[in-house]
Amino acid sequence: MLKRYLPILSWLPHYRRETFSHDLIAGLIVTVMVIPQSLAYALLAGLPAVMGLYASILPAIVYMVFGSSRTLAVGPVAIIALMTASSLSAIAAPGSTDYVQAALMLSLLSGLMLTIMGFLRLGFFANFLSHPVISGFLSASGLLIATSQASHLLGIGVSGYTLPTLLSGLFTHLSELHPLTLGISVFTLAFLLLMRRHGRSSLKRIGMPAKLADLIAKAGPVFAVVLTTAATWLFDWESAGVAVVGDVPGGLPPLTLPGLDPTLWGQLWVPALLISIVGFVESVSMGQMLAAKRRERILPDQELLGLGTANLASAFTGGMPVTGGLSRTVINFDAGARTPAAGLIAALGIGVVTLFFTPLIHFLPIATLAATITVSILTLVDIPAMRRTWRYSRSDFAALLATLLLTLLEGVEAGIIAGVALSIGLFLYRTSRPHSALVGRVPGTEHFRNVARHDVESHAQIALLRIDESLYFANARYLEDTLYALVAERPELTDVVLICSAVNLIDASALESLEAINARLRDSGVTLHLAEVKGPVMDRLKHSDFLDTLTGRVFLSTYGAWSELRPRHAARASIQPLE
């Protein structure tokens, strides 16, 4: 029981020294790599840079205790930072005390929601975000983030959370472009792209071991940060107008108490819910992918607890909403982390940096951070996935496109809500007009196939109708229409057999429709039979009066119905021609 809620107990007691050396190296690498990222995402969220560091310390440690993934690295991530900024901008001015307070509240609410969902085992909620919706949302968010970073790259101040406001802001203020900032941006972008494309192979070519070359290539952002910070300090670019991170207070994360203002709760619960679900989905998808590589499993409901407590920790230590981050997790994984202890070491490392080394961050240009975000975020725009979805299913693509466009034009909240609504709506629409087929017997066998597609035996007075969907409220009326039309078209019918091999559920609405169909067919002198009713469906029907009023029988198989009904008609009306 304790082990179930505290996954740490499943590995900590068996922890060995050799595992520690792997984790130590991975932890130190992660420390260095995620510092620029954490600062950048805090700024993206409109918060002081140091909150990104705070959010990478205690939340990561808490996740280690409660989370079920062994390699997931928890901290600020780009999408969640964007969603945070977008929802807080409606409430307070970025950077103000109210804004910071609201960010803490957002972490608190999100933490509470995730934790409660974890205890209620509601991990399946994440399933309502279909892949096309996630794909469209991530692509659009990537574009939005890249566009918002463009203003930092150009050295002009523009803010907004939809593509039209961002673009019009950029064009209006284009004259304020700051050439030196642009220079830093171009250098950093070029450096990062070169390192990413050719760093590994070039380093290997000059004789470096593959693993080290890989690591150094991935550390591109760190080098870019060090180089541009040093240059800014040396040449005093700050007085030349290059925006820098500026003074970052040193010391351990403060103990913060999010306020309890009910108005704020009312304004923030929807964004908090969306942030929780998006963060959970992002984190779990990644966790599953990595666990699969190592033949491990993650437990979605436990992940809710891990992420929930991490967000609570963030709310009380001056942080921002967090989740499992793609890039920081990949770094952790590639650096050879074996257990969550690597996350602990990274968290302690960031703690040490926050305590002693924040003055070094002062001269870090904002443009450098914007460049690192831009390069990493554009991988979210997944054109091949869009093309695959278009080829496979137009309606799934419609959900993807609607999410993409609405996110770009109306913002992240509208996009994700519309995407979910559309996914559900399309599914209901598809199932509301179920495929059905009149079937006949393949001569000489017990198999029954669609009369329209196959050369099969059928009978003018018996209709064998196979219905290819569960019967529930959205298609109950359609079922009635189908059967009434069938009976109206074929006045000679005496028996209708409803083949339920694909019916996994009959809900109360469909039951009422079946009762109505049964009564109406009876009035027309047609007997209604069922065939191939599944066990669970039959058990349920026994709790109603339907089986008592059913005019016909419930046959175990279609063949059973055929062999029973066919001779009866043959005897009664042997002159009746076959169809």
Least separation in angstroms between residue 70's CB and a second copy is 17
Query: Which of 405, 516 has the CB closer to a second copy?
Result: 516
CB of 197 to a second copy, least distance (A): 26
The two three-digit tokens of residue 173, written as one number:
């203020």
Residue from 205, 387, 433, 568 that binds a second copy (CB under 8 A)?
Answer: 433
Structure token digits, residue 332:
């952790």
Going from the C-alpha of 38 to that of each of 78, 283, 320, 328, 470, the distances in angstroms are: 9, 17, 10, 10, 48
Site string for a second copy, 57-86 (x = CB under 8 A): ------------------------------
Number of chain residues interacting with a second copy (CB under 8 A): 66
| 56 contributes a contact to a second copy by CB under 8 A | no
Residue window 434-463: x/- pattern of binding to a second copy, with contact defined by CB under 8 A: xx----------x------x----------
Cβ nearer to a second copy, comparing 192 with 298: 298
Query: Per CB under 8 A, does 468 bind a second copy?
Result: yes
**How do strand 495-499 and strand 323-324 relate by DSSP bridges?**
unpaired
* Concatenated DSSP letters of 332-371: HHHTT--STHHHHHHHHHHHHIIIIIGGGGTT-BHHHHHH
Contact between 430 and a second copy (CB under 8 A)?
yes
Residue 428 engages a second copy in binding (rule: CB under 8 A): yes
Task: Lay out the site mask for a second copy across 290-319 (x = CB under 8 A, - = otherwise).
Answer: --x--x-x--x-------------------
* Rounded Cα–Cα distance for residues 285 and 334 (Å): 18
Query: Quick one: which of 301, 334, 410, 507 contacts a second copy (CB under 8 A)?
Result: 507
Closest separation between CB of residue 468 and a second copy, Å? Answer: 5
> Least CB distance from residue 298 to a second copy, whole Å?
10
Q: Please state the closest distance from residue 336 (CB atom) to a second copy, in A.
A: 20
Closest to a second copy by CB, 212 vs 556, is: 556
Long-range Cβ contacts of 534-540 (<8 Å, 24+ apart): 534/500, 534/501, 534/503, 534/504, 536/504, 537/500, 537/503, 537/504, 537/505, 537/506, 540/506
Using the rule CB under 8 A, which residue among 54, 472, 555, 562 binds a second copy? 472
Q: Which stretch binds a second copy (CB under 8 A): 60-68, 230-238, 403-411, 466-474?
A: 466-474
Binding residue for a second copy (CB under 8 A) from 207, 262, 535, 577? 535
Site string for a second copy, 543-562 (x = CB under 8 A): xxx-----------------
Q: Which helix (H) or strand (E) holds 391?
A: helix 383-392
Under rule CB under 8 A, which residues in 152-211 are in contact with a second copy? none
Query: Pick from 19, 432, 458, 551: which binds a second copy (CB under 8 A)?
Result: 432
Could you tell me which residues come within 8 angstroms of residue 114 by beta carbon, excluding any fewer than 6 positions away? 276, 279, 280, 304, 305, 307, 308, 311
Share in percent of the chain as helix, strand, coil (round to 5)? 65, 5, 30
Question: CB under 8 Å to 1, separation ≥6 — which residues?
Answer: none
- For a second copy, the binding residues in 477-506 under the rule CB under 8 A are 477-478, 480, 484, 488, 501-502, 504-505
The answer to whether 458 and 578 have CB atoms below 8 angstroms apart is: yes
Q: What is the DSSP string of 426-491?
A: HHHHHHHS--EEEEEEPTTSS-EEETTTS--B-BTTEEEEEE-S-B-HHHHHHHHHHHHHHHHH-T
Taking CB under 8 A as the criterion, which residues in 266-295 touch a second copy? 288, 292, 295
Give yes or no for a contact between 515 and 541, defined as CB atoms under 8 angstroms apart.
no
Contact 70, 296 (CB under 8 A): yes
Is the Cβ of residue 150 or residue 511 nearer to a second copy in the bound state?
511
Q: Which two tokens stand for residue 218?
A: 């991935």
Measure the CA–CA gap between 206 and 308, rounded to whole angstroms.
46
Binding pattern to a second copy, positions 99-128, x when CB under 8 A? Answer: -------------------------x-xxx
Among 26, 57, 78, 129, binds a second copy (CB under 8 A): 129
Kindly state whether residue 568 participates in binding a second copy, applying the rule CB under 8 A.
no
Q: At what angle do helices 394-410 and 163-172 cross, to 10 degrees?
A: 40
* Shortest distance, position 476 Cβ to a second copy, whole Å: 7
List, in sequence order, the alpha helices (H) in 120-245.
131-154, 163-172, 179-194, 200-205, 210-218, 220-234
Rounded distance, CA 78 to CA 80, Å? 6
Contact 285/72 with Cβ under 8 angstroms? no
Q: Is 538 in the site for a second copy (CB under 8 A)?
A: no
Torsion over CA of 430, 432, 435 and 437, rounded to 10 degrees? 180
Task: Restricting to residues 341-400, name those near a second copy by CB under 8 A.
Answer: 388-389, 391-393, 396-397
Where along the sequence are the contacts to a second copy (CB under 8 A)?
A: 124, 126-133, 288, 292, 295, 297, 300, 388-389, 391-393, 396-397, 423-424, 427-435, 446, 453, 468-470, 472-478, 480, 484, 488, 501-502, 504-505, 507-509, 511-512, 516, 520, 524, 534-536, 540, 543-545
